[in-house]
Amino acid sequence: MRKDGALWALGTMSGTSLDGVDAAMIKTDGHAVFAFGPAAYRPYTAEEQETLRRALGQWPGDPDVEPAAELVETAHAEVLARFSGAEVLGFHGQTLAHDPKGRGTHQCGNGALLAQLLGLPTVWDFRSSDVTIGGHGAPLAPFYHYALARHIGATEPLAFLNLGGVGNLTWIDPTAPGPESAGALLAFDTGPANAPINDLMRERLGESHDAGGALAASGEVDEAFVASVLKDSWFDALPPKSLDRNHFAGLLDRTEMLSDEDAAATLTAVAAAAVAAAQIHFPAPVTRILVTGGGRNNPTLMAELRRRIPVQIDPVEAVGLDGDMLEAQAFAFLAVRVLRKMATSGPDTTGAPALVGGGQISRPTSL
């Protein structure tokens, strides 16, 4: 493997929405993105989602972790077997629990096993070293967001918004010399995004998500409910900060008095209002927000964002990027940085007291 120059890196992501495994290749030297390669998706079945859901909030050794880990490893092996030509794999695993100021962070799935199965050097357990020294261990995509901002030729501050189960924002100054530079980035979770909406749809209607935001579009937003959610003390914390998927698990119970339509509309508005409230933390105003993750495919959520935030808001496809695969690409990018002993997070992205190069490296026995 070359010690410098660009590599074809393969990355994966299985997010908090529990929908499936994304995998994508990029060509990168850990600084710039030179090419985008193939991508693939392996959905989780309803039964597999239940296996993962039972393990949420659990830590290594807890009863439901082993079945979840076996599922994650099997699903990843299936989708990754479709690729060829990769020189390194970045394996995120499935986050089951995230308590950076307490027990730490837990992503299930054994990267060493995948290294043997696929015959590829595998970088995994990206978050633990950041948490160990006092960081939040999340979000980890911001260094890649900086590379993308440079890739698209941005010259003014902008933000990337990822709407997965949880929302997160990356504010970027693309004129900074690098993502490690002071003032180049500020990243933090915004609050609940798709997770409460998906949970509502599953529990009330047996659906995995609100397709096209149709149910929310037919309901009325309870603005008092939205305002009450934003009073949660988590929103008062200064960034960088990260959020466990289960922190707002009680939102669903609080919608019991609302109709299906109004509950969907209100939870959708909560996701947008949380992003709007986060703008106060930006070091400088942005003129554009580029949206990635599943939430960008929800027209009702996108309309709520535009109603509450007076800047241009577009899906990342508007600048030629793939919003379905951006986080998988990010872990391909980070894998190359780990191989080359470069930082993957720092004070302005995870709150770590210093720059951190996270991730274990496992190599197949043949290498």
- Residues 130 and 160 occupy one common structural domain: no
**Residue 1 pLDDT greater than 60, yes or no:** no
Quote the distance between the C-alpha of residue 94 and its chain's center: 11
Task: Assess if residue 311 is contained within a domain.
Answer: yes
Q: What is the CATH number of the domain that holds 24?
A: 3.30.420.40
Residues 69 and 86 in one domain: yes
CA-to-CA distance for 96 and 238, rounded, in angstroms?
24
Report the alpha-carbon distance of residue 316 to residue 321 in Å, rounded.
5
- Banded pLDDT at 250 (limits 50, 70, 90): confident
Phi and psi at residue 331, in whole multiples of 5°? -80, -20
For 180-225, the pLDDT digits (tens) are 999 999 999 999 999 999 999 999 999 989 999 999 999 999 999 9
Looking at the fold, whether 280 and 349 belong to one and the same domain comes out as no
**Per-residue model confidence as pLDDT tens digits over 319-364:** 999 999 999 999 999 999 999 999 999 999 999 999 999 999 999 9
Tell whether omega for the bond before 174 is within 30 degrees of 0, i.e. cis: no
Instruction: Check whether 267 has a pLDDT greater than 60.
Output: yes
Instruction: Please report the pLDDT score of residue 243 as a whole number.
Output: 78
259 lies in a domain? Answer: yes
Q: Which pLDDT does position 2 carry in this prediction?
A: 56
Give the model's pLDDT for residue 366.
66
Residue 54 near residue 97, CB atoms below 8 Å: no
Report pLDDT digits (tens) over 81-123.
999 999 999 999 999 998 888 889 999 999 999 999 999 999 9
Under 8 Å between Cβ of 354 and 133: yes
Same domain, 118 and 44: yes
Which one-letter amino acid corresponds to residue 327? E
pLDDT score of 248: 83
Whether 143 is in a domain gets the answer no
- Average pLDDT, integer, range 230-255: 86
Alpha-carbon gap, residue 277 to 227, rounded angstroms: 11
Q: Verify that 182 and 303 share a domain, yes or no.
A: yes
Are residues 288 and 340 located together in one domain of the fold?
A: no
Cα gap 168→84, rounded to integer Å: 32
Rounded mean pLDDT of the chain? 94
Asked if residue 289 and residue 195 are part of one domain, the reply reads yes
245 and 344 both lie in a single domain: no
What is the span of the domain harbouring residue 36? 7-136+327-362
What is the per-residue pLDDT for 4? 66
Please write the tens of the pLDDT for every residue from 143-189: 999 999 999 999 999 999 999 888 999 999 999 999 999 999 999 99
pLDDT in tens, 45-71: 999 999 999 999 999 999 999 999 999
